Structure 1
Amino acid sequence: MSGHGFHVHGPHDHAVEHVAHGSDNFSNKIAVMTAVLATVGALFGYLGGATQNDAALFKNNAAIDKTTAANAWNYYQAKSNKQNLAELASNLPGVDQAKYKADVARYQSEKGDIKKDAEKWEASSEEWNKKSEEAMHRHHQWALATTAEQIAISLAAITLLTRRRWLLNATYVVAIIGFALGAFAALHVDPLGALFAGGAAAHH
């Protein structure tokens, strides 16, 4: 053992050295492809995280609007109770019936406005929920695309070590699948959903 110690070179180290010296076209090709896949995978991962954050934000907005709608409906119910009491009072003898009838009309009018407001907030909550579901679906698509690129990178590493051409072809296939999944997510396309929908329509 020398004073400088020793280092054991593995197959991957030798392959990297070949790439560094530019003497191995096969290794060069794998290295470039791996760099591209890593970059694309990182981009897909970032977009997946962004859509997940959007889904959480939209879900939070839906909950806020749902709470506002519930408060409006509670207010509507309170007005209904006051209207019922005013209607009962207007039928009692010896009371100012005109006043209570006016109160009934006023409560009825106020209830109409409150109902519209409650329905507006409910519709808004449903819309936010829909956006949240769509964003989460896109997140899953980005996640699948990212996973495909990670698998392709792993296959590329194995290909670099084994130097098997069929593994290189498999790497290409998996990488292309990842690109396709990323394109579907970017274009908001759900190929499986469209396929199932088309099959259901044909069945009917």
Structure 2
Amino acid sequence: MTESPTEPFEHAEHAKHVAHSGDDFLSLVSVVIAVLAVVAATVGSLETMETAKAFAEKNAAVLLQSKASDAWAYYQAKSVKLNLYTLFGEQTGAKPEYAEKARRYEGEQKDIEKQARDYEHKSHEALEASEAHEHRHHILTVAVTLLHIAIAIATISIIVRGHRWPFHGALLLGFAGVAGAIFAFI
């Protein structure tokens, strides 16, 4: 959710107008609106950061999987050479240089296999991290939406000149939004 950078100033301006009215309840509502606006902006920023982290981890997972695929292709190339030198060694009366090259390729294959499995493991970890950030992003989206609704409903208390039910509803929604934001990181 993109917010205007001047939105907190607008809420502060409304609060200043209400403060001049002399009604303590309306002043309280104005202060709560300003606090909710700051909290909503903070949660919105956290939501954006989680989105960026989810994309970064997903990109890392794809890159690591690509490296794993390359390593497996290299492994197979070494396997073909190993089989050829083993076959040449058997066909030509077991020349020592063929057996030596076959052992070398077999050793290289083991190193390449270890590296490919390591890339696959890291790719899986990055994918899991991406999913965790994405899940957190969804929770924060709901939390910031609740906070925005709370601000709108609290504003209704000012418009209807002191009716308390919208303010109490706004407080409940505000607490739910804050609780959701906290829950996202637990």
Query: Which category describes the TM-score, using the shorter chain as reference length?
Result: 0.7 to 0.9
- Indicate the residue corresponding to 1:171 in structure 2: 170
Q: 1:97 to 1:117 in 2, by over 3 A?
A: same
Q: Look up the SS of the partner of 1:88 in the other structure.
A: helix
Considering only CA atoms, is the larger Rg found in Structure 1 or Structure 2? Answer: 1
What is the count of residue pairs matched by the alignment?
Answer: 172
* Structure 1 CA distance for aligned equivalents of residues 37 and 152 of structure 2: 10
Q: Runs in 1 of length 4+ with deviation above 3 angstroms?
A: 15-18
* Structure 2 CA distance for aligned equivalents of residues 101 and 124 of structure 1: 35
Shift of 1:97: 2.5
- Indicate the residue corresponding to 1:104 in structure 2: 102
Cα shift readout 1:45-67 (whole Å, capped 9, x = no counterpart): 01111111111111111111111
- Indicate the residue corresponding to 2:181 in structure 1: 182
The alignment-based identity, stated in percent, is 36
- Indicate the residue corresponding to 1:142 in structure 2: 140
Shift of 1:18: 6.3
Give the unaligned 5+ runs of structure 2.
1-13
- Indicate the residue corresponding to 2:8 in structure 1: none
TM-score (norm 2): 0.86
- Contact 1:18–1:27 under 8 Å retained in 2: no
User: Cα RMSD (Å) of the superposition?
Assistant: 1.8
Q: Look up the SS of the partner of 1:91 in the other structure.
A: helix
- Indicate the residue corresponding to 1:8 in structure 2: none
Q: 1:18 to 1:83 in 2, by over 3 A?
A: closer
Give the unaligned 5+ runs of structure 1.
1-14, 190-204
- Contact 1:51–1:135 under 8 Å retained in 2: yes
- Contact 1:83–1:107 under 8 Å retained in 2: yes
* Structure 1 CA distance for aligned equivalents of residues 44 and 156 of structure 2: 23
* Structure 2 CA distance for aligned equivalents of residues 137 and 49 of structure 1: 13
